[in-house]
Amino acid sequence: MSEADWAESREHIADALRAGWAILKAGGTALDAVQSTILVLEDSPHFNAGYGAALTEDGLHELDASIMDGTTLAAGAVAGVRRVRNPIRAARAVMEGGRAVLLIGDAADRFADQAGLAMVQPDYFTTQRRVEALASLKRRALDGTAAKASEAEKHGTVGAVARDAKGRLAAGTSTGGFNNKPTGRVGDSPVIGAGTYARDGVCAVSCTGQGEIFIRRVAAYDVAARMSYGGQTLEQASNTLVFETLKSHGIGAGMIVLGAEGDPLAPYNTLGMYRGWVTTAGEMTVATHHELHHLGAVA
């Protein structure tokens, strides 16, 4: 990517943080802050969620998202949706509907439509960058170099975790999956406990990486379990998952985590990971690689 693209990516992350912070500063809930933050990222072409999402092996978009309330442990998720503009809104609607935790495919799209959410034609999500990434991965599959593909070519996810003024935690995750994925494949992002988890007094977690491994390791919940049952700190638990457990499978992995007191961490074992946070004092930081960009107090 060009430096201009990197700069715009960081600005979109900052925009997302501002959206979430505005809700928290006004006394809103962690759940609303998470949703608002992810909405900005879903509408940006720089991230693999919503507009600009990955394409399946058949050139389709199948989007996944989930959201969880750490206070009540209520959760909602959708998988394989193709027409709802913002999958995180659909996940929230499923949660509030109370009849299911996870809806899939056409049924999830119909549910979103009936809930009055914005719907689009599937090609709305397509960007030239994802078309080129799909073509590249198909070429790599033919010449046997798929393992050498960059993390950016393969996959990506957006997520948010938040703690509000009342100490309530929430987490959400949204993704297009990985480029050239099998049609019908579902990763960890819409699976509560694998890609997303929140519990008041413990932590909120959103994950990114090869979803199959996160599902098998129940990665997001494992962070909470290590803290609750193993007595580990947030840093110990998340670092163990990213740098030991998940790395042992030979995959790129990362997560954003927030503790009961609002302490943010974003461990990753790759060259970089889009990330950002606002501290309890209102100071904002964004980053794509190791260098941190401190943007000062949020306006």
Any idea what the CATH number is for the domain that residue 66 is in? 3.60.20.30
Per-residue H/E/C for 65-85? EEEEECCCCCEEEEEEECCEC
**CA distances to 14, 147, 260, 281 from 278, in Å:** 9, 36, 15, 8
Domain count, the chain: 1
Task: Write down the pLDDT at residue 15.
Answer: 97
- For residue 155, the model assigns a pLDDT of 60
* Per annotation, catalytic residue among 157, 173, 175, 285: 157
The range of the structural domain enclosing residue 262 comes to 3-297
* Contact of 89 with 39, CB cutoff 8 Å: yes
Strands (E) located in the chain: 63-69, 75-81, 102-104, 158-163, 169-175, 196-199, 203-209, 253-259, 264-265, 275-278, 283-287, 292-297
Residue 215, classed as helix, strand or coil, is helix
d(CA 1, CA 69): 36
Averages of pLDDT over runs of 10 residues in the chain (299 residues) are: 88 97 97 98 96 95 98 98 98 97 98 98 94 87 71 76 97 95 97 98 97 97 98 98 97 96 91 94 94 92
For residue 133, what pLDDT is reported?
87
- The answer to whether 196 is a known catalytic residue is no
The pLDDT, as a whole number, for residue 2 is 80
